[in-house]
Chain A
Amino acid sequence: MKTKNGWGMFLLGLRRRKKETRRLRLLTALSVFFLAFTLLLQDNMGAYQTALNAETYGAWFVRGDAGVFENHPYLRSQGQVLRGSLMFSGRTSAEILTGERASDEMSYDDYLAAYLDGDEDVYPRFQDQHLGARTTLDFIGSFPEGFAEENRVSLLSGRWPEADDEIVMTIPALEHYGYSMTLGQTVSFYLQRGYASPFTYLVDPSEISDFMFPVSYRLVGIMEDYLQVWDAGTTGELPAAVVTESALKKQDMLIFSRSFFAIGDAYKTGDYAAFASALADAVRADGSNGREVTDLAPMSVGDRSPNTRYYALNRSGYETAFWGDAAVFHAVTALLVVMSAAVSAYLYASYLSRRRTGFLRMREIGLSVRESWKMAAFECVFSVLPTALITLLVSYAMSLLAVLGISKAAGLPFFYRFTAATPGLILLLFLLVTLCALLVAVPVFSGRRVFIKRRGLSRAAVRSLRRRAKRTEKRKNMGVVRETLLRQSKTRPVQTLAPRVLTVFVSVVVLMGVTQISDAYGAYRVLAEAPAMTAYAEGTVQEWTLWVPVYPYEDARGQTRDTRKHSVVAEGFTSGHVVSEASLDRLRQIPGVQGLSCVFRDVTHVLSWQGKETNPVFLSCRAALAKRYGPEDLDLSRPEISALYARVEPLLYSIVCFEDDEAAEAYLSAADPGVYDAAAFCEGRQALMLLDETMGQLSPGNENAPAPDVGLSPGDAVEVQTASGALTLTLAGVCRNTDRVSTGMAALLVSPAFVRLLAEADGRVFGCNTVGLQLDPRADLIGTAGLVTPLLTGEGMRYVNRAEAVENARRAFSRTVFAYGSFALILASLGLLVLNAAAGEERRRGEASAKRLSRLGLESRRYTRGVLLREGKESLFVLPGLPLSVLGAGVLADPASIRQFPFFTAAAAAAALTLTLLVFLCRALGALRPETDEPPKKEV
């Protein structure tokens, strides 16, 4: 035999104890794989989401506003700006003066609503609204080459315009103006030049022809882009119609230009927040022209006065986090690292404790403490480090393959995100853990005997218990077992506590995953089971636009008070599109929103007052407008004015129905005494006329003052023309509209019963389509506006029909199940394996007591039963995870999760019970499985 030194013998022994170290290596591999794979999975699920968003929303871009815009020096200096895209845009108007088709979506009243009170500047879209065009086609523009591809503006059919008489439009624009999707047809619009007071031409009709001019184009393509679904086509962002640049420049229009600067790839995976912050600092440092940098809210920017200039960054599409929140992401990462370290330290300490005898033997034959330390450390590192390194590589390989599969399945470019810090972190972690375990085990190797409480009971005590146990044998025997197990656990508090903490941690993470899945399922179910809405029935989906008067931040404080006294109105893109419950719920969750008022508001039906030659309300509206804005009289002799009023007349007021019965009753009780009949109102036979502040110009006064005389009296009858005939209502009275929701200059307040009659008569679905938000006076509107739109648009639903929307939701649900389900499954599996190993460890520890008890006459099945009961009790530590996960989901992740309480409770309870059972099975199996590591000794 060759000469060996002490280390040589030590290594020889290490090799021969491969079977013993196999378990340690296996558990190390599991721990490393668990940590590395879950960290990588987390990272790459975030990357997956970002890749999806990039696919949907296009490149990051910076948008500069107002005027011909240069590429900011900061952007140029970064060297990452791919190109500056310049777009010309101009305003359009609707076909109101042509009289060629009816436009059912007048928003005349919106403009006159209270929140514009005092503001006489005309913003382009308001101008459109006044002229009758809903904010469908705010802008016509042209794209420079490459712009469409970079910004994911896709052609659904046809081609881009090549000649000056060609146009490409979006689906919302075509639908709004009543055009079909047929390529080659001629579409016509009015374009508007410059700014003007909204009613200038009403009172001074001579300006009309100068103000607006007709254009016609041939439709050669239909396009869509994600911004429009954010904004439902009410863009301040991208035009809803595109012509050639030369065609646009030919028109003598007010030009707004917006510059979109695509941001280079380095920023797509980098720190968006840091980039945005740096850009903001650079822009502010400019100190010029009041430029600001804001997050891109599809409609908020661009509605400003022309002097305000902004850079906008499309933040929402790219700030994604696996758990929906960056704080939760980091917290879960930290928890994973801590738990892995704790589990590993426990494993190593247990392993070293088992090796105690061996090292003590070596101490007795002359090994020093220092050399014991070195050998123990080497043994740990030698057993662990190669396994850890290999497992790390395997984790990366497997995560790479997983991401490859996901990217292929989802049709995405390969999006793997390699985080260089992760392997370093993991290796450092395991080295630190090894060191900690060694420090824990130092007294073992010092050779010092530490007085340790005897485990179990002394023989005398057990005999004494047995004597007592004879009287009630079964109960007392179990008591002996319980006492034994309890004392065993007391001598090893760390080993007792660690599995409990691990159990709670695993259950918390699993249940948090359940909440994410239940959220996605809830969203899918709502969509799939929701009653047919008009939007879907017509084969389109249009999202909501929240219209918030957002001011430059410096002005917001001064204007906040005034702004807040007005309602913040969310309006349906077109009437008849019902706001879903999910959207309402999300609106309620907006910080600063104290409440919602939901109103059904219809401006599509023609109202005919019985026995009146001229529409009395119309006359009153005209008088109120004239009093407020212009000359005393409006000349109706001019054909175009007459035509205008012919269009405006039936739409000057609306039919409204409050969701809240109390609000309706409040008005009813305040109405002029007349023929008010509660039963008749509730049955849909009576209505109340509400007049807003503009109409109040006719008779100034507070809200308690009598309503102005509009030529109507209680008892007057009005016919509502529907698709299948007229419905008749009797007027109960007239009063001032003090409601927080804008209802237009004049509105007929009806009951839900009448709305149902209307729906039946029209063969459509009506419901809440106007939402007013009551804001907390302390809320910051700027922040609120920034939050609202992303909430409303969620993940940016594409412009699809209902079937596609349901399918998208189903796919989103599947994605969520895959991502969070596999994460939770891996975590739970590895956690269960570790618990199994821990239980096995404890069983080995308790063997001596078990044998002693057996020799003293205790039936082994009683001991087994006691062990099972203990393991069952320890398994119940899953249950604290239930409220903790609710807390985690509600506080850290998504408050909306708590709202799905019934489903969440059921799902979480089921998951908790299943997990409890699994934990119990693993622990019990580990505790009861016979130990077969060492061969039995020969009998002497």
Chain B
Amino acid sequence: MSNDPVILRADQISRTYPGSVPVHALKPCSLTLQKGTFTAVVGKSGSGKSTLLRILGTLDPSDTGTLTIEGREICRLGDAALSRFRRRRIGFIHQDYDLFPEYTAYENAVFPLHLDSKTEDRKKTEALFEQLGLTDCLNKFPHEMSGGEQQRVAIARALAASPALILADEPTGNLDAANAERVAGILSSLVDTENVTVVMVTHDASLAAAADRVIRISNGVLEA
């Protein structure tokens, strides 16, 4: 692992969705993220937050510029290598939890390990579940859990492979205030406990306030 304090460096990345009227979801922008920081990305609906997150998470390619994560230039990687990188170094948390309905909470959480043909560590996973207050949910299916529980399972899944970077797209958007605060707190604590870098997209100013850094985006343009 490199000693570079910068975990992510994006240089003039942009994204345009084609169509009868092209949509410039993200205009050319540059961004660097320091290791072990909690960054909030705020902006109105349709401002390009999710697009930025997907590019940073290597889910969508950037139309321009370069993206480097942990010293690796992403655009040079093929799909297989990119996928491998993604499942080992990046964790995703979505607004609508994105759990597999046919797997239990435990199975959802260890899924990335199986994709990587790694041996799951049940004790570690159970400990994580306990940490997240999900002890009773180990063998439950998503439809048997509340929204907050599902989101916490999603967090557990994102942490399963001990990633370096966690990207959360409006993780509290579907939660009530109490659960939203709890989830935000968990994400915030991950920076210290797991030594991960967290980027969270939100439109909730109070949650953004808890971040180390706030990046504002408006109409696809990153504001300083």
Contact = CB atoms under 8 A, between A and B. Distances in A.
Interface of A: 1, 3-6, 8-9, 12-13, 16-17, 358, 361-371, 446-449, 451, 453, 934-938, 940
Interface stretch (B6-14, B28-36, B108-116, B182-190): B108-116
A45 B152 CA distance: 64
Contacts of A367: 83, 87, 115
Interface residues of B, number: 48
B114 A8 contact: yes
Return the 9 tightest CB-CB contacts between A and B, nearest first: A366-B87, A368-B83, A940-B147, A451-B17, A16-B102, A6-B115, A13-B102, A9-B114, A365-B112
B120 A451 contact: no
Contacts of A936: 143
B117 A6 contact: yes
Given A365-B87, A369-B79, A934 B114 contact: no
B59 to A, nearest CB: 6
Q: Which of B101, B107, B148, B179 has the most CB of A within 10 A?
A: B101
Contact of A938 (B17, B99, B119, B145): B145
Contact of A451 (B18, B61, B114, B148): B18
Interface of B: 17-19, 23, 54, 57, 59-61, 79-80, 82-84, 86-88, 92, 98-103, 106-107, 111-112, 114-117, 119-120, 122, 142-148, 157, 161, 174-176, 179
Given A1-B120, A366-B83, A367-B115, A16 B103 contact: yes
B102 A3 contact: no
Q: Which of B79, B102, B143 has the most CB of A within 10 A?
A: B102
Contacts of A4: 114
B17 A449 contact: yes
26 contacts: A1-B120, A4-B114, A6-B115, A9-B107, A9-B115, A13-B102, A362-B111, A364-B86, A364-B92, A365-B86, A365-B87, A365-B92, A365-B112, A366-B84, A366-B86, A366-B115, A367-B83, A367-B87, A367-B115, A371-B83, A449-B17, A453-B19, A934-B143, A935-B143, A936-B143, A938-B144
Contact of A370 (B80, B98, B117): B80
A447 B59 CA distance: 7
A933 to B, nearest CB: 11
A370 B115 CA distance: 13
Contacts of B80: 368, 370
A363 B82 CA distance: 10
Nearest to A20: B102
Contact of B119 (A3, A9, A12, A366): A3
Contact of B60 (A5, A448, A940): A448
Nearest to B116: A366
A362 B174 CA distance: 22
Contact of B107 (A12, A361, A453): A12
Given A365-B87, A451-B23, A934 B18 contact: no
Given A1-B120, A1-B122, A940-B148, A364 B59 contact: yes
A9 B116 CA distance: 12
A368 B86 CA distance: 10
Contact of B103 (A9, A370, A448): A9
A365 B60 contact: no
A interface SS class: loop
Contacts of A362: 111, 115
Contact of A3 (B57, B87, B107, B120): B120
A7 to B, nearest CB: 9
Contacts of B82: 368
Contacts of A451: 17-19, 23
B122 A12 contact: no
Given A9-B111, A366-B115, A940-B174, A449 B102 contact: no
B22 to A, nearest CB: 9
A940 B175 contact: yes
A935 B145 CA distance: 13
Contacts of A934: 101, 143
A532 to B, nearest CB: 76
A901 B114 CA distance: 69
B179 to A, nearest CB: 8
A12 B103 contact: yes
A16 B120 CA distance: 21
B84 A368 contact: yes
Contacts of B17: 449, 451
Contacts of A448: 60-61
Given A368-B80, A940-B148, A449 B117 contact: no
Contacts of A13: 100, 102-103
A13 B115 CA distance: 13
A420 B67 CA distance: 58
B146 A938 contact: yes
Contacts of A937: 142-143
B59 A363 contact: yes
Contacts of A358: 100
A368 B79 contact: yes
A364 B99 CA distance: 11
A6 B176 contact: no
Nearest to A937: B143
Contacts of A935: 143
A364 B98 contact: yes
Contacts of B107: 9, 12
A5 B113 CA distance: 8
Q: Which of B60, B115, B146 has the most CB of A within 10 A?
A: B115
Contacts of A368: 79-80, 82-84
A365 to B, nearest CB: 5
Contacts of A453: 19
A451 B18 CA distance: 6
Contacts of B100: 13, 358, 361
Nearest to B125: A1
B21 to A, nearest CB: 10
Nearest to A3: B119
A369 B59 CA distance: 12
Contacts of A1: 106, 120, 122
Given A1-B106, A366-B87, A937-B143, 6 more contacts: A1-B120, A1-B122, A366-B161, A447-B59, A934-B101, A936-B143
Contact of A365 (B19, B111, B146, B179): B111
Contacts of A16: 102-103
Contacts of B117: 5-6
A3 B88 CA distance: 18
B12 to A, nearest CB: 20
Contacts of B106: 1
A365 B114 CA distance: 11
Nearest to A364: B92
A934 B142 CA distance: 12
A17 B82 CA distance: 29
A335 B145 CA distance: 50
A360 to B, nearest CB: 9
A363 B57 CA distance: 11
A931 to B, nearest CB: 15
Contacts of B23: 451
B55 to A, nearest CB: 11
A371 B19 CA distance: 29
Q: Which of A361, A362, A363, A367 has the most CB of B within 10 A?
A: A361
Contact of A940 (B98, B111, B176): B176
B104 to A, nearest CB: 10
Contacts of A3: 119-120
A12 B108 CA distance: 12
A365 B157 contact: yes
Contacts of B101: 934
A371 B57 CA distance: 19
Contacts of A6: 114-117
Given A13-B102, A358-B100, A365 B143 contact: no
